[in-house]
Amino acid sequence: MNQDWLEKDFYSILGVSKDASQEEIKRAYRKLARTLHPDANPGDSAAEDRFKQVSEAYGVLGNEERRKEYDEFRRLGASGFAGGSPFGAGSQRIRVEDLGDVFGGGLGDLFGSFGGGRRSTGRKGADTTASLHMSFEDAFRGVTTTVSVRGEATCSHCRGSGAEPGTTVQACPTCNGTGQIAQNQGLFAFPQTCPQCRGSGRLVETPCSVCRGRGTDVRVRDIKVKIPAGIKDGATIRLPGKGNPGRNGGPPGDLLVTVSVERHPLFGRRGNDLTLTVPITFSEATLGTKLEVPTMDGPVTLKIPAGTTSGKTFRVRGRGVSPDKGKQGDLLVKTEIVVPSKPDRDVKRLIEQLGTHDPEDVRDHLRG
């Protein structure tokens, strides 16, 4: 899309009306292309130029979407935006940004704004990252803590203005504070960065003695972070506006904090459930018992039924992770039968007796 769309009548070039169907446009192009093709007119530069014009016209009108854009583009150019020029009375120049209303904002976003300060020239600051190591307990319960971030920050001396305190900052007279000027190209005006203020829209007469006019300096910032209960190892928390400062008045970026959770000496984690392995003796597994098992909120009593096998898992409801959002987990307790590594004489004798008796008889003997 360029000034040719306004200067050239592609319909006339193809010899069709503006109401012609796509099929009529296609037939007209094929007929002209056969007549004007360079192979049919060797050495005829006029026919070659005419062939190029026909091909260009069909490249636009032969595509329905481009044809719609072309028609609307020419309508705007002919009317000077309904008699009112974006640049003032008596002018018929069109700003590319104003075409965004016609083409869904695409052109305005592509070329940016200029000439009237319709949009800010500020740019959002870059996102930055930080790492936070925390204990299993803090991750389980949630905590508010701080992270130290070294990087660009708003200058504490000039508070981001770039000017020495007590001095003034003026709007750039060349671009009227927009940071962009219009570069005229025929009927259209395209934006370019203002050469005087370099896109900032401001003129600083006395730059800040600390940041030398940048508006930022490099230092360490301590930033508070609220860690939700039940956060998982490797999770990332986004803190809006805590990243690098924006440029030319733009908003700051975000801070992305990646959490690393230490392992617990007793508990593991599976989703929102906590896991725990408890050792039991052979007799406890055979006869059953009651065990006091730890949880993150204090010990509870767990009943181990007779005949429990090694590896059996018991569920203690409501003793897992309780996240700020989501279902509360449970504590999964797995039993592990411990076999004596060095049994004494009496233990050996009892084990030998167990091997010669019926299981029910052994149970009765141990109970007695």
In order, the DSSP letters of 269-325 are EETTEEEEEEEE-HHHHHH-EEEEE--TTS-EEEEE-TTPPTT-EEEETT-S---SS
What would the pLDDT profile of 44-101 be if each residue is shown by its tens digit? 888 888 888 888 889 889 899 889 988 888 877 655 544 433 333 334 444 544 454 4
Q: What percent of the chain has pLDDT over 70?
A: 78
- For 186, 318, 350, the CA distances from 305, given in Å and listed in that order, are 92, 21, 22
Residue 312: count of CB within 10 angstroms of its CB? 16
Q: Is residue 349 part of a domain?
A: no
- pLDDT for 59 equals 87
**pLDDT score of 319 more than 90:** yes
Domain end: 261, 295, 320, which one? Answer: 261
138 with 255, same domain?
yes
- First and final C-alpha spacing in the chain: 99
The model's confidence at residue 102, banded by pLDDT at 50, 70 and 90, is very low
Task: Give the CATH number for residue 8.
Answer: 1.10.287.110
Average pLDDT, the chain: 80
**pLDDT score of 347 more than 70:** no
**pLDDT score of 107 more than 80:** no
213 with 324, same domain?
no
- What's the domain range around 326? 268-337
254 with 292, same domain?
no
- pLDDT for 122 equals 66
Contacts of 259 (CB under 8 A, 6+ apart): 132, 134, 139, 227, 231, 232, 233, 234, 235, 236, 237
The answer to whether 355 touches 304, Cβ cutoff 8 Å, is: no
- pLDDT for 351 equals 67
Distance separating alpha carbons of residues 253 and 246, to the nearest angstrom = 7
The model's confidence at residue 267, banded by pLDDT at 50, 70 and 90, is very high
Q: What percent of the chain has pLDDT over 90?
A: 37
Q: Are strands 202-204 and 169-171 parallel, antiparallel or unpaired?
A: antiparallel
Kindly report which listed range (226-230, 268-272, 355-359) carries the lowest average pLDDT score: 355-359
Give 206: exposed, middle or buried? Use CB within 10 Å, 0-12, 13-18, 19+: middle
Q: Is residue 176 part of a domain?
A: yes
pTM of the predicted protein model: 0.56
